Amino acid sequence: MNLRTLLFFLILMPVMFIGILIALVISIFEHTGDTFSRMAAWWGRFSARLFGISIVVEGSDNYRSECNYLVISNHAGMADIPLLLGAMKLNLRFVAKEELAKIPVFGWALKRSGYVMIKRGQNREALKSLLAAADVLRSGRSVHIFPEGTRSETGKLLPFKRGAFLVAQKGGVPLLPVTIIGSNLITPKKSLQINKGNVRIVVGTPLEPSGFENVEALMEAAHREIEHNLRRYASTQN
C-alpha cells in the first residue's frame, strides 16, 4: 500500500459513492442511464488526474462519438475501466461480473444504468447473460467487453473467448478493437499498490462483423490487431 492507495480510499471512494447515490436518484426520472455514463466518464478522468496517470490516445479518428460500437480491449490492470471511461468519447456501458450486482447501492446503480451483468463460466447461462449486451447495443449505446475474461499479470495478451464476438454479430454494430499499454504497471495484479505512470490507448480501425466468414475469423482479426499494437508500443512505454 502507498500514498495513492490511501487517496483511493480517502478521496476516490467517497467521490464515487456520492456520485452513485446521485445517479440512483436521477435514474428514477431518467431510465436510459445516459447521465450515469457521463458521470462515469468524469470519474474516470478525475481518477487519472488524482493518481498522476498520463494518458495518450491514438486513433481517435477511427471512431465517431455519436455512433455506437462493441468495444473490446486487452485487460492488464484494475485501472483499465476508469481509464477507458474517461478517454473514450462514447456513451459506454461495461460488461461486468454478476457478483458486482449484489453490492448494495453500487450494484443497483450499474444495473439501472444499463451495465450488463454476466455469469462467469462457459455454460449456457453465462452465454445467455452475455448476449444481453446485444440488446444494449441495439438501444444505441456502446458496450465494452474484455474478451480475455481476466486480467493478464504480465501485460501480455491472453487468448480470446468467442462470446464477445457473438455479441458483435447479434448487436449488428462495428467492433472497435482498443489496445491498452502500460496499465499493468499502474495497478499490478494481486497488489493494493497504485502507481503513477504513462498509459497509451490505441484505437484501431472498426471491424464490420458482416465482413467476416464466421465468429472465429472476426475474433482472430481483433486479436491480431491488439497484439500488433502491444508489440509495437510496448518497448517505448515507460
| pLDDT higher than threshold 60 for residue 173 | yes
Measure the CA–CA gap between 44 and 33, rounded to whole angstroms.
Answer: 17
CATH number of domain containing 186 = 3.40.1130
Range(s) of the domain holding residue 87: 3-234
- Which carries the bigger pLDDT value, residue 83 or residue 1? 83
Tens of pLDDT, residue by residue over 185-198, are 998 877 889 999 99
Q: For residue 143, what are the CA distances in angstroms to 15, 92, 191, 213, 230?
A: 24, 6, 28, 23, 22
Helices (H), 103-162: 106-112, 124-138
Mean pLDDT over the full length of the chain: 92
pLDDT of residue 238: 53
Residue 175 — very low, low, confident or very high, per pLDDT cuts 50/70/90? Answer: very high
pLDDT of residue 122: 59
Measure the CA–CA gap between 157 and 167, rounded to whole angstroms.
Answer: 21
In this structure, what C-alpha cell is assigned to residue 60?
Answer: 481517435
Q: Structural domain tally of the chain?
A: 1
Tens of pLDDT, residue by residue over 86-122, are 999 999 999 988 899 889 999 999 999 999 998 776 5
